[in-house]
Each structure stands twice: as structure tokens, then as C-alpha cells.
Amino acid sequence: MNVPPFNVKRLLCITPLRISLTATVALVGLIEIVHASSFGVAELPNPLPLTCTEPQMRGLPDFSQPPKGTAKYRFNGTCTSPQRPGNQLTYKLEGSWTPAETNSQKPNASESVEITGYEPFLPDRAPGGRIYMYWTARCNKDPWLHPTKANCRRFGAMIPEDLGVAAPDLQATSFPRTGNVITPGDQKRLLAEYNRLYPPDVAMPLDRERNRTAALVNPQQKKESATGAIAKPFVPGGTAPLAIMETPKIKKPASGDRIIQGQMVVQIDPPKVGGSPVTELEFTWLDTPPNRPRYINTFAVDTSKLIQGYPVDQAVTRGQTGRREVQARVSGETPPRA
């Protein structure tokens, strides 16, 4: 494939420090935290035209990774430039399909890219490292084995700032980029092997999740259980098992937002059904060093304050930058004092 020459005039140089925003009962997205002191403007040299090979599949897919039904597909390719003869950039892609993730507000597919040998083409970057980026989506089917039926909806992405500016196409909403690499014949053979290992009722629990979600959204839709009794709707985090409450949905931060350390504001949509006076927020630092216990901070917030927009104290993240998982759930606690 031919990559058009980069057209970059200026670059806002920041230190991207990612936070992954996920939630058991909240909207999933990706946000960044950056230090205000890391902002600056730098001029980029004239861009280089690159010609890249089509990605090729590396070996067989991996259908053995947990949880059940997970599939991983690996591809690679190279890029060259007539202005850098004898030099070659190598890229590796990995696609991941996780149908066991039945929460419709979380991604169940991802595609990552790793680039090495970039030094002759990106001289401003520190040498000897790797460039890494990824994007996630929610798909109805495995997008590598069912590219025309997957109907994927992209959730978010982690793309280095300079590459995002230099190649705006990386921000496109299409998913996945390697969806048409596997030939129809290979797709058929791989699908047969996948179904042999994981029968459809094990690997594709999405229909059951849709039915459960429909029962929550529409309390009038009651289903008879196997014993003939009325099946009660399940409310995540609810203290009253028969209560119908709408689970909190995070409005801010939105997917792709950038947040300066100490300036995070969490806001939820007002519940349309039921509601709780208190919402519980949980922050988990995903980039905790291996030799330290994972840092989790959970606390209750007055729901009315979250609806208006709740400024999160910097002490909650302890000034640590990096990825964080944020969860919001209904709480049965007494509203905290002002």
C-alpha cells in the first residue's frame, strides 16, 4: 500500500500519558493525562514519502489464550523511502477478538501496531526504541473471520502525538485495518477450526447479553424462568434486588479527551429510570510498577454533584500519570457530607 507523504507544519509536543476509562456500568472511552509543563511547539523537518508493503499474516492465529473464545491474529510488513535508500522500517500488527466480554459498554476487539527501525525516517525520536499504538472497538462478530458481518464500532485509540498529526488517517473510525488480509478460503478453514475448539454457544454469548440488557431497559418485559417463576431483573450494584435503576453513564471525560493532571472532572448523565442518591467511583492505576501492589481508590460521591460535574481531587491519583481504569456504580451508602 502507498502511504502519502506526511504533511506536517507544526506539532504540539506533549508527553502523552494515557488513561483507559472503562467501567462496569459506565461508558468506555480513552483519555489522556498530561503535565501542563510538558507543552511546547516544535517545527518538524520536511516529511518523507513512505511506501509500505501490504501486511502479511505471521503464522497461524492463536485460539488458546484465555478467556474462552479469544482469538489473536498477527501480521507484519515493511516500509521504505527513496530518500533513505538501504533503510527499512518494520511494523507488526496484532488483532485480538474477545467475545467473552459481553458488556456492551466495553470493547471486545482491539488492533495494535508496533514499529521498529524508524530512526532514519523519524530522526527527532529517541533511537533504539519501539513505537506502539492501538485502537479498540465493539464488534458483533470476529472482524478477521467475518469482515463483512462484524459491524464494528470503534471505541478509542492510543496514538502517539507526532504520528497522529503526521498521519491523520490513523484517527479514522474504520476497524480493523487488517480485516481483509486473510483470504476468504483461509477464513473458512480458520473458522472451522475455531468452531471445533469453541462451539458457538460458548464463543458467542452476545445474544444472551442482549436479552439481559433488554430486560433491564424495559422492566415490563418479563420472562418466565425454567421453574415458571418470574425472572427478576438484575441491577448491578443495587441494594434492592427488585428495584429498577438506570446504571450510571459517564458523560465526561469523553473518549479521546486530554486532561491536565489535577483538572479532571467526572460528570454523569441524569438517570431516566430510578436513581440513587450516591454513586461510587473507583480509580485503578493500571501502570503500577510490578513490585508494588496495584493502587485502587474507591469513594462515594453525591450523585447530584456528579450530574453537575465533580472535580476530582489530584490526591485521588496521587499525582501519578499513566493509564487508569475508572468505574462508576450505584451505591447504597448515605450521601457524603458537603
pLDDT at residue 175 in the model: 92
Q: Please calculate the CA angle 139-76-120 and round it to the nearest 5 degrees.
A: 125
Give yes or no: residues 62 and 145 share one domain: yes
- pLDDT at position 30 over 60: no
Q: Please calculate the CA angle 123-9-91 and round it to the nearest 5 degrees.
A: 45
* Dihedral over Cα of 111, 116, 122, 126: its sign: positive
Give yes or no: residues 53 and 196 share one domain: yes
In a domain, 208, yes or no: no
pLDDT-based confidence at 42, cuts 50/70/90?
A: very low
Lowest mean pLDDT of 55-69, 157-171, 265-279, 282-296, name the range.
Answer: 282-296
Give yes or no: residues 60 and 32 share one domain: no
Write down which residue in 177, 200, 223 finishes a domain. 200
Q: What are the pLDDT digits (tens) for 162-193?
A: 777 766 677 776 899 999 999 999 999 999 99
Decide if 120 contacts 127 (C-beta within 8 A). no
- pLDDT at position 290 over 60: yes
In a domain, 194, yes or no: yes
Give yes or no: residues 53 and 162 share one domain: yes
Distance CA 11, CA 332 (A): 48
Give the count of domains, the chain: 2
Give yes or no: residues 20 and 54 share one domain: no
pLDDT-based confidence at 293, cuts 50/70/90?
A: low
Mapping DSSP to helix (H, G, I), strand (E, B) and coil, where does residue 79 land?
A: strand
pLDDT-based confidence at 90, cuts 50/70/90?
A: very high
pLDDT at residue 85 in the model: 92
User: What is the pTM for the complete model shown?
Assistant: 0.49
Distance CA 214, CA 201 (A): 19
Q: Residue 45, preceding bond cis, omega within 30 degrees?
A: no
Lowest mean pLDDT of 36-45, 77-86, 109-118, 278-287, name the range.
Answer: 36-45
Sheet holding 310-311, edge to edge: 250-252, 265-268, 310-311
Domain span including residue 167: 48-200
Strands 29-34, 258-260: pairing kind:
parallel
Q: Residue 123, preceding bond cis, omega within 30 degrees?
A: no
Give yes or no: residues 27 and 57 share one domain: no
